[in-house]
Chain A
Amino acid sequence: MELANIEQLVEKYLDATTTLQEEATLKNYFTGGNVAIHLQEYAYLFNYFATAKEEQFKKTINLAPKKKRNLTWFSAAASIALLVSIFFGKQQYDKHEQRKEAQRIYVQVSKGLALLSSNLKKGEQAVAVLYTYENTINKILK
């Protein structure tokens, strides 16, 4: 290809009026080495285009739908678990409280009973004294 011709094509190329075929001609000329010095920058340009076209998508194509974790189900399950645990927790807590209350009452009642019984004992002793007293009086009176 004559240099004058290439120069003409380059001008057309810059104006974006070249056809694909003409651009292929330019590409051939500039990637073939042996480029006129005053057109050197086009060699960079067309060599870049050529190398850029070689880049490939190397990953394997994955057409299976992505496994998106369904968050709605997760949240529903979590809220149910929360409700259940609160329910049973409350029950357990109530039981615990009841037991504590019962223990407190038991302690109080047994304290009261102990008091009562000790007082009763005192009364009994007093009555016993009275009995012995009465017996002795009876013996003396007989």
Chain B
Amino acid sequence: MKQSDFLKVVLPFKDKVFRLAKRLLVSNEEAEDATQELLFKLWKSKEKIASYKNVEAFAMTMTKNYCYDRLKSKQASNLTLVHSNYKENETSLDKKLEYQDSVNQVHVLIEKLPEQQKIIIQLRDIEEYDFEEICKMVDMKPTAVRVALSRARKKIREQLTKNHNYGVS
């Protein structure tokens, strides 16, 4: 496999890898490094890839595992992830800004979910994979994926309604 062939395979899903990494690692730089590292890993095992039917699913699984490892080593070294582009104040009267804030809030709410639910929300609601693919990527049974997804969605909705009502009254 030549470099150009490899890029042809990889380019369609590099953004998905990056977004998943960012969902899990939060920081932009971390996610960029992770993506770079993963693509390089894929490149190194290019002989194996040629025989895979679904490189994308394989790459997503790799991303998930890699980010888990990163998170683990981070916890070990006591580094905490901080999210910075979330504004706490919602006193603005500007309707549009408020709307934007509410949209941004979803980001924070997803961030508060357990890792597994984060991944599933990312894969389903943002990347729009079908259940079969998601099951392969996260190595879970279909029912378990559905339960986790349902929980995550309900949790986000519940929090959004709560925040929204609080803002109104």
**Chain A contact residues, CB within 8 Å of chain B:** 13-17, 20, 23-24, 40-42, 44-45, 47-49, 51-53, 55-57, 59, 61-63, 65-66
Residue pairs across A and B with Cβ atoms less than 8 A apart, 5 shown, are A44-B164, A52-B19, A53-B19, A57-B35, A63-B6
Alpha-carbon distance A41/B163, docked complex (angstroms): 10
Q: Are B128 and A48 in contact (CB under 8 A)?
A: no
**Chain B contact residues, CB within 8 Å of chain A:** 3, 6-7, 10, 14-15, 17-19, 22, 32, 35-36, 39-40, 43, 99, 102-107, 125-128, 130, 145-147, 149-150, 153-154, 156-157, 160-161, 164
Q: Are B6 and A45 in contact (CB under 8 A)?
A: no
With beta carbons under 8 angstroms apart, the residue of A13, A47, A55 that contacts B19 is A55
Residue of B nearest to A17 (CB): B146
- Give the A-B contact count at a CB cut-off of 8 A: 81
Q: Are B157 and A14 in contact (CB under 8 A)?
A: yes
Residue of B nearest to A44 (CB): B102
Residue of B nearest to A24 (CB): B128
Q: Are A14 and B150 in contact (CB under 8 A)?
A: yes
Residue of A nearest to B37 (CB): A66
Q: Are A55 and B15 in contact (CB under 8 A)?
A: yes
Alpha-carbon distance A61/B8, docked complex (angstroms): 12
Q: Are B18 and A56 in contact (CB under 8 A)?
A: yes
Residue of A nearest to B125 (CB): A49
Q: Are A14 and B36 in contact (CB under 8 A)?
A: no
Alpha-carbon distance A69/B16, docked complex (angstroms): 32
B3, B32, B157, most chain A CB atoms within 10 A: B157
Residue of B nearest to A40 (CB): B164
Find chain A residues with CB under 8 A from B104 CB.
Answer: 48
Residue of A nearest to B165 (CB): A41
Find chain A residues with CB under 8 A from B3 CB.
Answer: 63
Q: Are B103 and A61 in contact (CB under 8 A)?
A: no
Q: Are A61 and B10 in contact (CB under 8 A)?
A: yes
Q: Are B126 and A41 in contact (CB under 8 A)?
A: no
Find chain B residues with CB under 8 A from A52 CB.
Answer: 19, 107, 126
Find chain B residues with CB under 8 A from A14 CB.
Answer: 150, 153-154, 157
Q: Are B18 and A41 in contact (CB under 8 A)?
A: no
